Amino acid sequence: MYSKKLLAILISSSLLLGCNSSDPEPAEEVVVTPPVVTPDTSAVILTDLDTVYGYASENGGTTGGSGENRVEVTVCTGEQMIAALKDKDPNRPLTIWVNGTITLQNAKDTRIDIKDIKDVSIIGLGSQGEMAGIGFNIVRAENIIIRNLRIHHVRANMNAPGDGISIEGPARNIWIDHNEIYNSLTVDDSSLTLDQVKDYYDGLVDAKGDARYITISFNKFHNSWKTSLVGSSDSDNYERTLTYHHNHWYNVNSRLPLFRFGKGHIYNNFYDGAVESGINSRMGAVIRIEQNHFRNMKNPVMSMYSQQIGYWQLIDNIFENITWEPGAAGSVIADNNQSTGELTVPYNYQQSLIPVHQVKETVLRYAGVGKITTPPSPGLCPAPLLEEAEPEEPIVDPVPIDPTEPPSSVDWFSYSADLDPFTQGAVTLADGSLSQFAKQQSGGADEPNLFTANGDGTVTFDSTASGSDRSRAKLDNIMAADGVYPKYFTLLMGLKGNSEGQRIIETEIAFGDTASSASSRLKVVFRGDGNNSGIQLENASNGSSVTLGKGNEPDAIDMSQYRVYHFTIALSSPTTGNVAVYIDGNNTPLGVLEGVTMRPASNPTDNYLQIGDAGNSSYKAEIDWVLWTDAGAYTPDMLKGLLPSGIGNISGYEN
C-alpha cells in the first residue's frame, strides 16, 4: 500500500510543475513494490477432533457405537472382540475399547469380521490399542467407526482379505480416523523375489463393491506397497463416495489411493515420499484434490493402467520436489497442474479446511494414535501364557520324485454333484463308503450354503448376490498322513464357468502330516474376470502366484466354457514339490512347477480338500464332478478309460 507521506510528495510535486511557465522536465516514475507476505507454515491449533466431516457426514451421519443406550466393552484379546461383535444387541449401539494387542493367536481366526451389523465403534484406549498381524473385514455393515488403533503387518493370502481394513459393500457410513496403519517394504526372506515381497502384504485400507459415505481422516499410512485401493477391478462399477482428509502418507509405493468409479474428495493431506505414484483416478472416477501438500514423489496425480481414464479437479495444492513421468499411450498425468474434471461435494467441510501452507505441520502434529481423548485404561492386559516352543524340523535333502507308473485301476474319492456337497452320501470315499463335505465357520458361525443342486447331475455355486460371503465345503483326511515321502496327489474337476465376467470357484488342497511340523497347500482360483481370467495358483511357486491361460496373454483360455481341469502334485518333502496343470485330457501340461517351495498350510496337520469361496469376491460356477486320489500323480494319458462311469461329462478321458 502507498504511504500517505509518499502520496503527498507526489501531489505537491505535480502542483509545482503545473505553476512553472517553461516546459517541465519529465518526472521520474516511482515504482512501489508491495511487501512480500511470507505464508504461515505453523500448525493450526485444532480443538475438535471428534467431528465427522466428508462423505461420512452424509446419509444421516456416522455415530458408530455412541448413544444413550450404548453397550461398552473393554477387550484384551481377539476372541473377546469377536464375541462382543457376535453377541451385539441389534437395537443398541456397541463401543468396543481395545486395551491391548489383538493377534492371530488370541483371536483364533485370520481376521475380525464386522459383518451384517450396524452401530459399532472400535476404539483403542490411550495408545494401547493394537492389531498385530490381523485386520478388520467390514461387510454388509453400516454406521461403523474405527479409531485410535495401530494396525500393522497383516499378511495376504491367509483366507482373509489381507488388508489392515477391508470394506466390502454394501457398506454405508464408515469413519476410519486417527489410526496408524502400516506393513513393510521388505521381508526377511532372501529367497523371495521383488514381486513376492510386494504381494507379501496387501492394502492398508481398501474399499470394494457398493461402499459409500466413507471418511478416512487423520491416519498415518506408511511402509506399504499397495496402500489404498478403491474398486477391486475395472468391472467393479459402483458409485462409491469417499473422503480422505488430514492423513499423513509416507514411505509408500503407490495407490494413494487408486480410485475406480465414483467420487472422491481428498483435502489437506500431507504426502511425503512415494516411489511409483500417488493418486490414480481410473474408470471415470472424479476426484476433488484440494489444498494438499505433495513432496518428494513421482506422479502425485495421474490416470494410468485402466481401460478408461479418470478425472480430477485440482485446487490450491503444493507440489514440492516432484518428478513427472508419462506412462503408456492413453495415460494422463497432472504435470501442467490443470484440472480434467469438476466435483462439487454435497457437505459443508469449510470449518475443517486449513490453509495449504499449514497442512504439513498440522498433519504431523495431529495424525495417528494418542491424539484423541479416551477413557483411562483399566490396567494392562494380562500377559499371554507362553507356549512351549515346538522342536525345529531337521533340514534334510529332498527325496527324489520318480515318475509314477500308470495304474491299471484307481480307487477314486468322488463327488458326482448329484447332491449339494453337505448332503449325507454326497461323497464316495476310496473304500466305497459314503460321506459329505462339512460347512466352514466364519467368526464362530456357519457360513451360508451357496451350493444348489440343479437336478441334472450338476451343482451351481453362486456368491454373486454377496461377494463378501465366505461359503466353503471342506472334507478332511484326503491323503495319507504317515510321514513318508514322496507323496502324490491327483485332482480332476469338471467345471463350467460363467458368461458374466465373474470369478468361477476356489479350490484348496492342504497336504498336512501329523509326523511333520510343516506342511504345504495348493490354492487354485478359477477366474473368468477379463484380463485376470485363467487358472491362478496362489503363492505356489516359492511364494509367487502363477496364472495359466491368462486373459491378456496369447494362450488365453475361455474360462466360461465347460472344461476338465487336471492337477498333479508330487511332494518330495512337507514343503517342496512339483505341480502340473492339464486341461481337457491334453497330455501336454498347460504349466509345470518343479522343485518349488509350496505355499505353507495354516497348520502343519491341515489335511483337506476345500471348494467354494474364501470371501470378498463374487464367484459363479457349475460343478459337474470332482475326483481325487493320493495313490499317484497321474497324467491324462495314464487315466484314459479309468474315470468312474456315469459321473458326468468326462470329455478327453474316454477309452
Residues identified as active-site: 255
Backbone angles phi, psi at 637, to 5 degrees: -60, -35
What is the C-alpha to C-alpha distance for residues 93 and 63, in angstroms, rounded to an integer? 9
Residue 233 burial (CB < 10 Å; 0-12/13-18/19+)?
A: middle
| Helix (H/G/I), strand (E/B), else coil: 500 | coil
| 294, 336, 460 from 323: Cα distances, Å | 11, 12, 51
Q: Where are the alpha helices (DSSP H) in 191-241?
A: 194-198
| Cα–chain center distance at 506 | 17
Residue 94, Cβ neighbours under 10 Å: how many? Answer: 23
Classify 173 in phi/psi space as left (phi over 0), alpha (psi -120 to 50) or beta.
Answer: left
**Bond preceding residue 257 cis, omega within 30 of 0:** yes
- In terms of phi and psi (left: phi > 0; alpha: psi -120 to 50; beta: otherwise), the region of 213 is left
Alpha-carbon distances, residue 545 vs 184, 234, 253, 549 (angstroms):
19, 21, 20, 13
Residue 543's SS3 state is coil
Report the distance separating Cα 182 and Cα 180, nearest Å.
7
Instruction: List the grid coordinates of 393.
Output: 524340523
End-to-end CA distance of the chain: 99
CB atoms within 10 A of CB 487: 24
β-bridge pairing 279-282 and 258-260: parallel
Q: Contact at 8 Å (CB) between 522 and 567?
A: yes
Rounded to whole angstroms, what are the CA distances from 46 to 49, 266, 354, 372? 7, 19, 10, 11
Which of helix, strand or coil describes residue 23?
coil
Cell numbers for 654, please give them: 474316454
